[in-house]
Amino acid sequence: MEDMDPKRVILITCVSIDFDLDYLPHFIKHYSKLDIDQYRFILHSKEEIIQDKFLKLFENLFEGVKAEYKLEFWSGVFKYYGKVDRLNNLIQQQVGTYYVLADVDEFQIWPDSIKNSIISNKGEIVWGTLRDREAPEGSNTVLDSTIDIDKQFNIISNKSNWNSDLYTKPIAFNSSYTLRGCHDIVDVNKFKAIEQKATVIQVDHYRWNDKRLDKMIERHENYKAYNREEFTKDTSYVLSMYNVKHKSII
């Protein structure tokens, strides 16, 4: 393992321009309270991206935020392992760095500063367990940037109904590690690590908003198209929650 002195922490995330922009003000507000030194955003859209528009958007979003940020643009069909490859490329760019991995709808609950937690965890991987946050109005709630997200989504639940393999994921690790997927690290057994007292923190998951259905329909079609039926288990489940009888649900 690398000799890790957590002087620099970089948050990496992939954001869907088509579905997830409403999360960004809340996401940046939440993580700006933590000791993040830099944000690396992969911005994806199935359409061609007008980069100047998003450069201006992020300039406004980061006004008053001390941390640095960098944007990477990705256009075309969304592929899960395309996302994983891009995240791994970011991890490999700066050796000796500690990375925080978070989807834009995931808000990690750190009991201490990230850097202190890394030190107390002796540089090992920190794991997160996901819990759903829902709004009283249901799954078609529109995110309001002017109201705290936890007040809008104030119900804690297990609506996603994930098994332990999916709802446990790596959320902080050093640059010697490689992602096998967004929920796993190459050559690391997460359950064994947790049995051996690895640090585990809670992650609030605000996935149930008004864009979820359209996003899952698109992802479901993408996964089916390149024979990733293992990924369609979650998309099928989500579509069934909306009572959608979609032609390709398995």
Q: Which two tokens stand for residue 75?
A: 């256009």
Give me the mean pLDDT over the 196-219 stretch: 91
Residue 70 lies in a domain: yes
Q: Which residues contact 62 (CB under 8 A, 6 or more apart)?
A: 28, 69
- Assess if residue 219 is contained within a domain: no
- Across residues 235-249, what is the average pLDDT? 55
Least confident of 88-92, 120-124, 205-209: 120-124
Q: How many domains does the chain have?
A: 1
pLDDT of residue 10: 96
Instruction: Quote the percentage of the chain above a pLDDT of 70.
Output: 88
- Pair 223, 235: CB distance under 8 Å: yes
Q: Which residue has the higher pLDDT, 242 or 130?
A: 130
The more confidently predicted of residues 209 and 119 is 209
Q: Which helix (H) or strand (E) holds 215?
A: helix 212-225
Q: What are phi and psi of 216, to 5 degrees?
A: -70, -35
Within-domain flag for 66: yes
**Assigned domain for 151 exists:** yes
pLDDT surpassing 80 at residue 233: no
Whether residue 1 is predicted with pLDDT greater than 80 in this model: the reply is no
Host domain of residue 121: 9-210
What is the spatial distance between Cα 28 and Cα 39, in angstroms, rounded to a whole number?
Answer: 9
Q: Which is more confidently placed, 4 or 132? A: 132
Is 250 domain-assigned? no
Q: Is the pLDDT of residue 52 over 90?
A: yes
In a domain, residue 164? The reply is yes
- Please state whether beta strands 126-134 and 200-205 pair in parallel, antiparallel, or not at all (unpaired): parallel
Residue 243 lies in a domain: no
Who has greater pLDDT, 1 or 135? 135
Residue 59 scores a pLDDT above 80: yes
Say what the pLDDT of residue 66 is. Answer: 92
**Banded pLDDT at 245 (limits 50, 70, 90):** low
- Does position 109 have pLDDT exceeding 90, yes or no? yes
Q: How many CB atoms lie within 10 A of CB 98?
A: 23
On the question of pLDDT at 241 being above 90, the answer is no
The reported pLDDT for the residue numbered 249 is: 38
Q: What is the pLDDT of residue 243?
A: 55
For residue 13, is it within any domain?
A: yes
Is residue 220 predicted with pLDDT exceeding 90? no
Residue with more model confidence, 140 or 224: 140
The pLDDT of residue 242 is above 60: no
- Is a pLDDT exceeding 90 seen at residue 238? no
CATH number at residue 193: 3.90.550
Q: What is the mean pLDDT of residues 84-107?
A: 94
- Asked if the model's pLDDT at residue 121 lies above 90, the reply is no
Per-residue model confidence (pLDDT) at position 95: 80
Burial of residue 57, with CB atoms counted within 10 A of its CB: 0-12 exposed, 13-18 middle, 19 or more buried: middle
User: Hey, CA dihedral for 176, 179, 180, 185, is it positive or negative?
Assistant: positive
Sequence-separated (6 or more) residues with CB below 8 Å from residue 163: none
pLDDT class of 228 with cuts at 50, 70, 90:
low
CA separation for the pair 105, 26 (Å, rounded): 9
